[in-house]
């Protein structure tokens, strides 16, 4: 099996690396933070000193960084994929799992193609734990031929996936999914705080809610974290959710649409960040609701 590179050894990068190792791939890893690189090495990932070194060893690079700017840096920055390929008459496939600005990502893919970078977006719906368990849903954008060419890698990372069209379509779908998901988190958090304030035990009430018409999958993935107030070992972080909601609001504004619930939710995420909870699990939205008195 060919070697696959993972750029970004955070929650999603570690989950993708685990899936690829389980599928039999050799995996190389790179991260600017030495601690994250050391952690992913424990999964059997071979540490790499730079993106340039990874380009030399791997035909496919899976990018799992924080935001659009970091993706652009990986592809086009000093020591990035495109600059490493300059003058070599070679190609590399870059699969981006990050949730990004759809328009900037589409423009990046177009620029990069002329420099030997074949770009495929594959943002994944699901927490890092769900991705590690093979339960994440990939939202694929890019050339259909390229998606077929990368099928073995995609099969490992996200066995369930949807092909949505050109680069940008996957990110637009991911933002819409995350909008619904985030508001479900907020609804659950508000319901648990309300139940607690009127005298119910939140842990016991969560089981009642699970068996009611109000049930949603968010109760399974985030309910216990909210009820027990356990946020320090995140599956998906507050600052990542805030980044996504800011992208949603910008995209909606460009289309002339107001997103009233999303605006309130983003304000509550900002409250979490101001209270030092940026790196907590995004179930901590319940704390922002508690602080509203």
CATH no. for residue 150? 3.40.50.720
Owning domain of residue 204? 172-290
**Residues 67 and 191 placed together within one structural domain of the fold:** no
Long-range CB contacts (within 8 A, 24+) of 41-47: 43/14, 43/17, 43/18, 45/6, 45/9, 45/17, 45/21, 46/3
pLDDT (0 to 100) of residue 293? 78
Smallest CA-to-CA distance from 11 within 96, 112, 129 is with 129
Task: Give me the pLDDT at residue 13, please.
Answer: 98
154 and 194 share a domain? no
Last residue of a domain, one of 150, 167, 184: 167
pLDDT value of position 93: 98
Q: CB–CB of 46/76 below 8 Å?
A: no
> Residue 230 is encoded by which pair of tokens?
């356990």
Q: Are residues 49 and 163 in the same domain?
A: yes
Domain stops at, among 136, 167, 198: 167
Backbone angles phi, psi at 170, to 5 degrees: -65, -45
Query: H helices of the chain, where?
Result: 11-22, 34-41, 51-57, 68-76, 81-85, 102-113, 128-132, 144-149, 151-157, 169-197, 202-210, 218-228, 238-254, 260-274, 285-290
Q: Are residues 85 and 18 in the same domain?
A: yes
Cβ-based neighbour number of residue 286 at 10 Å: 28
For the chain, the domain total comes to 2
Q: Which of 132, 167, 202 is the last residue of a domain?
A: 167
Q: Whole-angstrom Cα distance, residue 220 to residue 226?
A: 11
Predicted TM-score (pTM) of this structure: 0.95
Residues 15 and 78 in one domain: yes
On whether both 189 and 257 belong to a single domain, the answer is yes
* Whether residue 56 sits in one domain with residue 16: yes
d(CA 209, CA 223): 10
Mean pLDDT per segment of 10 residues, for the chain of length 293 residues? 93 97 97 96 96 97 98 97 96 98 98 96 96 97 97 98 98 98 98 98 98 97 97 96 98 98 98 98 98 89
Looking at the fold, whether 261 and 285 belong to one and the same domain comes out as yes
Q: Tokens for 149?
A: 């060419």
Instruction: Say if residue 111 is in the same domain as residue 249.
Output: no
Tally of CA atoms within 13 A in the half-sphere of 175 that contains its CB: 23
- How far is residue 224 from each of residues 18, 68, 181, measured CA to CA in Å? 25, 32, 17
Residue 139: CB atoms within 10 Å = 26
Question: Do residues 285 and 183 touch, judged by C-beta distance below 8 A?
Answer: no
Whether residue 138 sits in one domain with residue 28: yes
Question: Does one domain contain both 152 and 245?
Answer: no
Residues 188, 70 share a domain: no
Here the CATH number for the domain that contains residue 241 is 1.10.1040.10
């Amino acid at each position: 099996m060919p070697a696959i590179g993972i750029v970004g050894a955070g929650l999603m990068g570690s989950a993708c690396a685990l899936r690829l190792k389980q599928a039999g791939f050799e995996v190389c890893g790179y991260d600017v933070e030495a601690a994250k690189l050391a952690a992913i090495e424990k999964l059997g990932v071979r540490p790499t000193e730079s993106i340039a070194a990874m380009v030399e060893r791997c035909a496919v690079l899976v990018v799992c960084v924080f935001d659009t700017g970091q993706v652009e840096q990986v592809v086009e920055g000093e020591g990035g994929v495109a600059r490493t390929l300059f003058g070599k008459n070679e190609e590399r496939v870059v699969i981006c799992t990050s949730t990004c600005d759809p328009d900037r990502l589409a423009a990046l893919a177009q620029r990069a193609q002329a420099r030997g970078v074949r770009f495929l977006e594959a943002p994944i719906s699901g927490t890092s734990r769900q991705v590690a368990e093979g339960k994440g849903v990939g939202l694929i954008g890019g050339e259909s031929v390229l998606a077929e060419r990368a099928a073995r890698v995609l099969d490992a990372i996200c066995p369930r996936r949807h092909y949505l069209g050109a680069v940008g379509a996957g990110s637009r779908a991911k933002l819409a999914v995350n909008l619904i998901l985030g508001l479900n988190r907020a609804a659950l958090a508000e319901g648990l705080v309300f139940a607690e304030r009127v005298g119910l035990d939140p842990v016991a009430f969560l089981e009642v809610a699970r068996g009611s018409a109000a049930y949603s999958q968010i109760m399974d993935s985030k309910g216990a974290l909210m009820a027990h107030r356990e946020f320090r070992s995140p599956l998906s972080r507050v600052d990542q959710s805030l980044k996504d909601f800011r992208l949603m609001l910008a995209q909606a504004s460009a289309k002339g649409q107001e997103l009233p619930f999303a605006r309130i939710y983003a304000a509550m995420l900002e409250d979490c960040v101001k209270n030092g909870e940026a790196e907590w699990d995004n179930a901590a939205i319940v704390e922002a609701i508690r602080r509203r008195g």
